[in-house]
Structures are given as C-alpha cells and as structure tokens.
Amino acid sequence: MLEDLVAQAKQVKEAYVFDLLSKRNVVGVGLGYKISHGVNTGELGLIVSVTHKADASALAVKDLVPQMLNGFKTDVVVTGKFRAQDSGIDPKGRWRPVVPPGVSIGHPGVTAGTFGCLVRKGDEVFILSNNHVLADVNAGKAGDPILQPGVADGGTADDHIAKLADYVSIDFGTSEPECSIAEFITKTLNYVAGAFGSSHQLQAVKKTPGVNRVDAALARPLSPDLVKNEILNIGVPIGVGAVTLGMDVQKMGRTTGHTTGKITQIDVTVQIDYDGPTALFSGQIIASPMSQGGDSGSAVLDMDKRVVGLLFAGSDAATIINPIGEVFSALNVELAL
C-alpha cells in the first residue's frame, strides 16, 4: 500500500531529520519521488535540499548525506538558500514598472481578482479579466480606475494602472416575482434549445435572455508600457486553443499561484452564485479543483501554452471556465502576441 510506504518513509524522515539538517549545506528534508535526469522515477525517498552540491572529497565524513536510510533512497537536490517569498514573485504584490498577467488586480469595489492575459483590439492592448473583477458585476462604468494590486491586497488610489474599458453584462434573468427559478430555467433553456436545436454550430455571441456565456471585461492600461503579455510563472502564450475531455491545463492566479488541473466536463450548463443572486451560464468548461477565491480572471492554458479559457468560478470540487473563443468574440479582441 502506498499509504503504508509513505508512513514508513515519514518515520525514517522523523528519525533522521535533525541529523541531516546538521550537515553542511543542507537546508531542508522532505519526502518525495526521486528525480533522475529530470524524470520522476516514481520511487519514494527522502529529498535532501542543499544550497549547492559539493564533491564528496571536499566534505567531512560527518557531512556526507548517506545514499540510503533504513531502506529509503535519498536524493540530494540543489535549491539554494530558502528565503521568505519576496514581493518579486508574489502575485498579490505591487508590480512595477511592468505588470504581468497572473497577478492581483481589481475594480475599487471588488476585493481582488487576477489579470488573465493581454489582448488587443487593432493596435490597442487591454487587460482581460472577469466582469466581476474589473466591472464589479455590472456596477462599473467605463473609465473607472483599475487597481494593481486589488483592494484586498492593499491596493489604493495610488495603485491605479488602468481604466475599465468594456464588459459583457451578466444577465441575472427575470425579476418577475411570479416566475420561480425553476420556471425561469425551463423557459430560458427551452429558448436555448429552440434557438440552437441540437446543432453543435453554436453562434458564438448569440445572446439568449437570462443565459450567459462569459464573465469578461477589459481594462485599458494607462500606458501600453505598463503591461506585458508574459504570464507570471508560465510565459508568453503561443496562441489560443480548444479543450478536450481529460486534457491537462494550467493557470497562474492571484491566490493559488501556478496550478494544474484536468478538464472534466465540456458544454456545461451551470448555475453560478454571485454572492446572493445566481446567474445561469451555458457552454462552460469544468476542470478539477485548481483555484480559489481571488483566482478569478486567470487565463487557463493547455500545457503547450495555448490559452483555452477564462477562469471565473468554482468550489472545492470544481473550477468553472469560459471558453476563450467565446470571450474573445464577445469582446471583439484577440490575444496580444
């Protein structure tokens, strides 16, 4: 059993951790899989982190890390000195002079979300994120200030980096009191079925009352030099793509940083809670849990760095994503390459 093996390895680690940490150059001890020539061997062992590797001959015998400890292999990994994470790589920090996608951003009326990716309309570049991050769920007005970092991360008027430019309104459907939620859903979904039939050739921006396709907004940077397209910890996206079931994806977000997940559902019709009112979305993508509050607005990419979606909602068990094609056509933009 894997759990038994892990439990054993833990015991061995506990028995030797202080001894190992007292050796020269050692800065950490943990459990992990041995990496050989960059490949995960699947073999559980003790990972000993060192500031740098030294020749055995240059070390005192007492400072040598044994190759085996009670039946578990050790793996010596160079990590350098550990430091408390500085603001240089903190997505919640204030980024200047250039703000990369993947970091905290928001409208002053919003806690904080994530700058997803850089897009363009003609020669002009824009910050892409969610309506509920940049436009405060339809409450924002064009020209409103956008802060980096967002308010929850200490952003104030001094952190103004962009202005709200455009957003797709979120339609919360009917407010007729005599229409129950169930009746409303049936009505709107029947409308969808009538409009689209079972054809898969959905028209990208066809608008159906009460049914949303995207939670998206654009902000115009105060200067184009203030932003770049290279997503923090991921790199420059190479284009856009589509998802398939079971595919691996990645994102860089303000709260959980760089994470990966798997596509578990496509073509999803789903009810999303906006802190009280719920909105119905169709044509959505669901991935395994890979995000938390504050990651909204993150661009979701495949492992070849093609942008496939815009993250906007989720739970402990799922991540909800707008397909990027729908986002781009609704806002009439393309990826800034």
Partner 1 sequence: MVENDELERLRSVKNLYEADLMQKANVVGVGIGLRQRAGELTDEPVIVVSVLQKEPAGNIDAKDVIPTELDGVPVDVQAVGRLKAF
Three-state DSSP class for 254?
Answer: coil
Q: Which is nearer to partner 1, 169 or 315 (CB)?
A: 315
Strand partners, 275: none
Binding mask 167-186 for partner 1 (x = CB under 8 A): ---------------x--xx
Whether 284 contacts 322, CB under 8 Å: yes
Q: How far is the CB of 78 from partner 1 (least distance, A)?
A: 35
CA distance 271 to 284: 11
Take residue 234 and report the two structure tokens written for it: 């991921």
Q: Which helix (H) or strand (E) holds 182?
A: helix 181-196
Q: How far is the CB of 334 from partner 1 (least distance, A)?
A: 25
Q: Which helix (H) or strand (E) holds 33?
A: strand 26-36
Binding mask 264-283 for partner 1 (x = CB under 8 A): xxxxxxxxxxxx---x----
Pick the piece of the chain touching partner 1 (CB under 8 A) from 47-55, 148-156, 192-200, 329-337. Answer: 192-200
Whether 33 contacts 46, CB under 8 Å: no
State the amino acid at position 253 in one-letter form. Answer: G
Q: Which is nearer to partner 1, 28 or 293 (CB)?
A: 293
Whether 309 contacts 322, CB under 8 Å: yes
Binding mask 292-331 for partner 1 (x = CB under 8 A): xxxxx---------------xxxxxxx-x-----------
Q: How far is the CB of 215 from partner 1 (least distance, A)?
A: 6
Take residue 120 and report the two structure tokens written for it: 């363009």
Take residue 182 and report the two structure tokens written for it: 């169930």
200 is an interface residue for partner 1 by CB under 8 A: yes
Binding site for partner 1 (CB under 8 A): 130, 132, 137, 182, 185-186, 189-190, 193, 196-198, 200, 215, 244-246, 262, 264-275, 279, 284, 286, 288, 291-296, 312-318, 320
